[in-house]
Amino acid sequence: MFLPRTPLQYWVICPILGGPGQWWLGVIVWGVIGAVITGGLFVARNRSTALGVVLGAATGAVGGALLLAPLWFFLVSLLDRRCAGCGEKVAPSGGSCTHCGHEFHEPSWAESLAGAAHNIGRVIVTIEMALIIGGLILELSGKNAVDTYRVLFEQGLGTEVKRANALLAATPIIFTGLGTALAFRMGVFNMGVEGSLYMGALGAAWIGFTFVDWPGPVMIAAAFLLAMLIGGLWCLIPGYLKARLRVDEVVTTIMLNYVAIEFTSYMVQSGPFFVPGKSNGMSETIAPQAQLPRLLDRSQLNGSFIVALVCVVVVIFIMRRLTLGYELRMVGDNPLFARWSGIPLGKTILKVMFLSGVLGGMAGAGQVMGVHYNFTARFSRGYGFDGMTMALLGHNSPIGILIGALLFGVLRSGSTTVEMFTDVPIDLVDILQALIIFFVAIDLNVDFLRRRRTASKATPPQAHDGAEQNSAPVAA
């Protein structure tokens, strides 16, 4: 346990500093962060800069020591995982070795716990860094960061109703984050969950205002099933183009998002679902028995949140226990090895894209049947793109996505009233979201550079010369 260098990946200061580190390095880094931030706050308040630096360094160092102490003494042995093939240290949440490609067997409970803690820690600390930098921006612009954050979190978590509203704001992000993570884990950059959300919402609304004589449970089940089917089929279009024609999925999914948004807007603004006398392009209101039951009387939190939690468990089961989960992990880790292992890449892409669209359609159905009770043109606040942020933030871990979505729901719910109690505009949440994406991008780039560096070190220097010698007779 007491190694000179221990793989405290992303625990020291995720995601700016990754890879191996010593415990004292984390204390120094947190001390520097405290010195910079507190010094900046003192400058903004026209106070002694030196005093702020000293106080910030002391506070940051103590906080860093308290943060790293339990990790050092209790989680070091769990995070120190070595590959049986090459003996190199690897991340506890990986499915295969990044050095030699050796596939790991079913992880033990300790390794699973370490991997979950690893992902959760990255999510929490990334959001913490965004809050710290956002607070520094507030202070430098003349605002009181402490009061702003206090009001923000009081409005997001202060009462039972506010907590319910935070869960309500997180519900569609959980759906879209899970759908995006399934595709990302396989290496398919699906950005079309937003389109599936719109198409699924339109299908659920059609069931709700057309078959008004059906019983409530039948209508709710039929609406969700149709939304899932439409959302899945919508994502099958770019999935087929990717699997059969090798068309880049980023371009097709982004384009189809706009097609879905404009098509659904046409259907309620001047198309068959247009209702004379209603503004903002709304469809007819769904039947009362098709509306999802509320979990709290004074909040719109409804049964779709329970469905979202069930989907988290289902996605974990798919990734961990089903053949499809094994295939998408293999394709995501090493597509060439997966192809030579007999995994049908085209069929796997179609399956995963369909499931990704299914989850997006469920998000749309939950919004229509639990919040709006009709289909409104351009009703989404970018839930599909928020889900993509959560998938990247949680590194495609369903638990990480759930925690990130809940924290993001608190920010979204609190920001709706923060403008009433402070002089800070509601755009603060957009700034925090941009900072989260910024730190996620740093995390991904650091991880990529580290893997490329370790791969280059693991390559034997004789391999290149041997390849030239072997290819010389062929060229001659």
CA distance 21 to 190: 34
Question: Which residues make Cβ contacts (< 8 Å) with residue 96, sequence separation at least 6?
Answer: 102, 103, 104, 330, 333, 334
Return the pLDDT at 22: 53
Q: pLDDT > 70: what percent of the chain? A: 73
Residue ranges in 71-144 assigned as alpha helix (H): 76-79, 109-140
The whole-number average pLDDT for the span 467-472 is 41
User: Which of these ranges, 110-114, 119-123, 309-313, has the smallest mean pLDDT?
Assistant: 110-114
pLDDT for position 73: 46
Task: Say what the pLDDT of residue 9 is.
Answer: 38
**Structure confidence by residue, pLDDT tens digits, 307-316:** 999 999 999 9
Alpha helices in 322-397 (DSSP H): 323-333, 335-340, 345-367, 383-393
Q: Which of 239, 232, 171 is nearest to 361 (CA)?
A: 232
Residue 412: partners with Cβ closer than 8 Å, 6 or more residues away: 166, 169, 170, 429
Model confidence at 351: pLDDT above 60: yes
Average pLDDT estimate for 423-451: 75
447 vs 238 pLDDT, higher one: 238
Hey, which of 33-42, 66-75, 118-127, 355-364 has the most confident mean pLDDT?
355-364
Q: How many CB atoms lie within 10 A of CB 142?
A: 9
Average pLDDT across the chain, whole number: 80
Q: Which comes out higher in pLDDT, residue 39 or 239?
A: 239
Report which of 383, 91, 395, 22 is spatially closest to residue 231, judged by C-alpha positions.
Answer: 383
| Residue 470, pLDDT score | 41
Q: Which domains does the chain have, with CATH numbers?
A: 23-118 (no CATH), 145-445 (1.10.3470)
User: Cβ distance 232 to 195 under 8 Å?
Assistant: no
Instruction: Give yes or no for residue 215 having a pLDDT over 90.
Output: yes
Confidence grade of residue 85 (pLDDT, cut at 50, 70, 90): low
pLDDT number for residue 155: 84
The amino acid present at 244, given as its one-letter code, is R
How much is the average pLDDT of 378-395?
91
Across 23-27, 71-75, 399-403, least confident range = 71-75
Q: Give the pLDDT confidence of 403-427 residue by residue, as tens digits.
A: 889 988 998 888 877 777 777 777 7
* pLDDT band for position 198 (cuts 50, 70, 90): very high
Q: Tell me what the mean pLDDT of segment 372-388 comes to.
A: 94
Neighbours of 15 (CB within 10 A): 22
8 Å CB contact between 34 and 61: yes
Which range has the worst mean pLDDT, 107-111, 235-239, 268-272?
107-111
Phi, psi of 81 (to 5 degrees): -105, 135
Question: How crowded is residue 60: how many other Cβ atoms within 10 Å of its Cβ?
Answer: 22
pLDDT tens sequence across 293-350: 999 988 999 999 999 999 999 999 999 889 999 899 888 888 888 888 889 999 999 9
- Measured between alpha carbons, how far is 41 from 35 in angstroms, rounded to an integer? 10
Instruction: Report the range out of 114-123, 130-139, 307-316, 385-394 with the highest average pLDDT.
Output: 307-316
**Residue 286 has what pLDDT?**
97
Predicted pLDDT of residue 86: 67
| Model confidence band, residue 150 (pLDDT cutoffs 50, 70, 90) | confident
User: pLDDT band for position 89 (50/70/90)?
Assistant: low
Q: In which band, very low, low, confident or very high, does the pLDDT at 63 lie, cut at 50, 70 and 90?
A: low
Q: Is the pLDDT of residue 15 over 80?
A: no
Backbone angles phi, psi at 52, to 5 degrees: -65, -40
At 20 the pLDDT is 41
Percent of the chain's residues with pLDDT above 90:
42
